[in-house]
Chains A and B, each alone.
Chain A
Amino acid sequence: MKITMTEIVERALTGKPCSEREFDIKLSKRARELAKEYGVSSDPANPVPKDFGLANSVFKAGFQLFCELGAYCTSTNRIISFSEEEVRYALKYTPAEVWFGEGIDKKALIPRKPEDKRPPWCFLGAGGAPVSSEQILSILVENYAKIPQANSITTPALTRVRGVRISPGTPLEILGAIEAVRIAREAMRRAGRPGLPIMNLVATATTDSSLIAALNSEYGARPSDGVLVGILAELKTNFALLNKAFYAKSLGFRVAGELGPVYGGYAGGAEGTAIVTVAEHLMGLMVYQADWYLAFPVHAIYTANSSRELLWVRNVSAQAISLNTNLLSLYLSYIAAGPMTEMALYEIAAQISSVVVSGVSIEAVGVAKARYEDRMTPVEPKFAAEVAHASTRLNLQDVNELVRRLLPKYEDKLKNPPLGKKFQEICDIETGRVSREYLELLTKVKKELSDLGLPVE
């Protein structure tokens, strides 16, 4: 039988006690040992592996890691454990499709496989990056919704509401979260796509109380939207996160296990990070009873995921998940460079093309590491969607060659990437119309991609 959320909380309250440090060190050591045991070895020269035996080994190692360690609850300093049988059962009965959205924008998210010719689900927008005002959020979302390939929207996060900087756990955060949903819904209506789902409800809400407040249908949230519930690095949760999952699921929202294992952190190197990425998908399935998954393995130093090590991690773990499960996984791209730079477009092309051919769907794009206020435009997610659709014509070998030729164009700049320009410096603040200069740059990069074997329309 399916494990209930009550049972999860009971296990968090009564599971084996363990210090957080002990758990962290055990995880690091086991991830390293399992990589050796299963013969998982990274190959930076080939960031898009075409070795399904390797992908299956990554899956087996991730499965074993999660079954051995379980998930750590920082609220109780106890381990939430699961048997292998319980995990296998949950994998077997996970739904093979989940519907999002309303009206003509209602659509099923389905699992993909490596070299799948079907287009990926395109979850487009800001990736939760910060914007400085309600006005910029509104015009950005309107223009995201105008992207024809958009299946759902990822909204920016408000840093201020009514000009006041938001503080977590205060009424300002609740107000900001509510406003973000209300404004986004209205912006999509203006774009003529009122049924389009928001899949990152609610980027502005950090605390459980703000999220719960903003999920009230009075403000525009719908159960056919998605709610992200984070997994703490690595394999950890707490009661605030469980509160989010429990409440969102009880209202029928589509809950995602959101996982960002850190390359260089407790997960270790590329092999360990790929294994932990798989294990955290399973944690999302078991602990949050997730309907879908949002993965973004990230580099400890660059805090983006377009370096060759991270491309390998993304692609091999995507293949591991897509070959061995029906889990509905989307991979989020965080790029280092800012808008209106060639580097940003190269990073997007490398990340999106390879992960699409590796068998998952996409969220695009966290521009300039999603760190800097207003450093995003509708161009980057639109370009990402075009790359995603075009990539379905490639196979793993083609895309590996493409990525090998794109990497030298930007990898030496990852430590100090160009930050480009802000939205208001590139786009008309009233309409979102993009500057001619950026469009010319886009045309130039698309021509280069076409010459490299990826014709982007």
Chain B
Amino acid sequence: MREEEFFVELREAIIAGDVQRAKECAAKIVEEGIDPLKAIEEAVQPAARIVGEKFERLEIFLVDLIMAADAMKAATEILTSVIKAKRPLKPAGKVVIATVQGDVHDIGKNIVAALLVASGFEVYDLGVDVPALKIIEKAEEVGADVIALSALMTSTMRGQRDVIDMLKAMGIRDKYIVVVGGGATTAEWAREIGADGWAETAPEGVNLIRRLVEEKKGEKT
């Protein structure tokens, strides 16, 4: 089997959300001595992009997205276990994501989290109704690049501002990119509370996070 054929198979397995097939294919790539970094760049990352695009057009749905993200994660783990011996592969960025305190709605947040995983981000999903301090503590613990905050209800939006205000009070606001989203939120609201960005839809949110992380990394270099 030629290198390209392995990559095609891995891409297809990820897009189909077939975790077992993706694992087997990644293991074969390692066994055959194919460059795992090349496999990530030419099979895993394009598959992730295709999955994101398909979801944006709603040709696939949330469960397909979650399965594809699982397949991508499983394959990447096998491939990076080999790379790690030579040089570590950094994730696209680390994101702590949560629905803010008082709000128990999670579907939008779950879509963003699945798309982020599929895009190569390391995602720490804290769930719903999460207090501001818990979100910040997790971001500090894992060295997050991004804090992503969801709120569906008008009455719970304030929880997003509480996180930003607490970051400011702790003197660590500039350490993190803070993005907000959810049914009740707007660009105007994001500006009002001092967030770094807002997106209306999950795919736009992932693009926003990718752009802001790249910009921040660019500033550092």
Contact = CB atoms under 8 A, between A and B. Distances in A.
Are both chains from one complex?
yes
B190 to A, nearest CB: 13
A176 interface: yes
Contacts of B156: 168, 206
Contacts of B81: none
A427 interface: no
Nearest to A75: B104
A84 B159 CA distance: 41
Interface stretch (B38-46, B55-63, B169-177, B210-218): B55-63
Interface string B85-120: 000000000000000011111111001000000000
A264 B58 contact: yes
Chain A contact-residue range equals 35 or more
Nearest to A264: B58
B149 to A, nearest CB: 14
Contacts of A167: 102, 155, 158-159, 162
Interface string B53-82: 001101001110011000000000000000
Interface residues of B, number: 34
B207 interface: no
Nearest to A129: B154
Contacts of A130: 154, 184
Interface in A193-239: 204-207, 232-233, 238
A250 to B, nearest CB: 23
A262 B155 CA distance: 21
A157 B154 contact: yes
Nearest to A301: B201
Interface string A19-58: 0000011001100000000000000000000000000000
A165 B158 contact: yes
Interface string A344-374: 0000000000000000000000000101100
A262 B104 contact: no
B119 to A, nearest CB: 17
B186 interface: yes
Contact of A265 (B56, B107, B154, B155): B107
- Which of B156, B157, B158, B200 has the most chain A CB atoms inside 10 A of its CB? B158
A114 interface: no
Contact of B155 (A29, A157, A238, A263): A157
A157 B152 CA distance: 13
Contacts of A238: 104
A169 interface: yes
A300 B62 contact: yes
Contacts of B55: 264
A365 to B, nearest CB: 16
Interface in A141-183: 157, 159, 165-169, 173, 176
B102 A169 contact: yes
Contact of B58 (A28, A263, A369): A263
A415 to B, nearest CB: 8
Given A28-B61, A264-B61, A265-B62, A207 B184 contact: no
A269 interface: yes
Given A168-B153, A204-B155, A266-B107, 18 more contacts: A159-B155, A159-B157, A166-B155, A166-B158, A167-B155, A167-B158, A173-B155, A206-B103, A206-B155, A232-B106, A233-B105, A264-B58, A265-B111, A266-B62, A268-B63, A272-B61, A300-B201, A301-B58
Interface of A: 24-25, 28-29, 74, 128, 130, 157, 159, 165-169, 173, 176, 204-207, 232-233, 238, 240, 262-269, 272, 300-301, 303, 309, 369, 371-372
9 smallest beta-carbon distances between A and B, as pairs: A168-B102, A28-B63, A130-B154, A206-B155, A167-B158, A268-B61, A233-B107, A264-B58, A265-B62
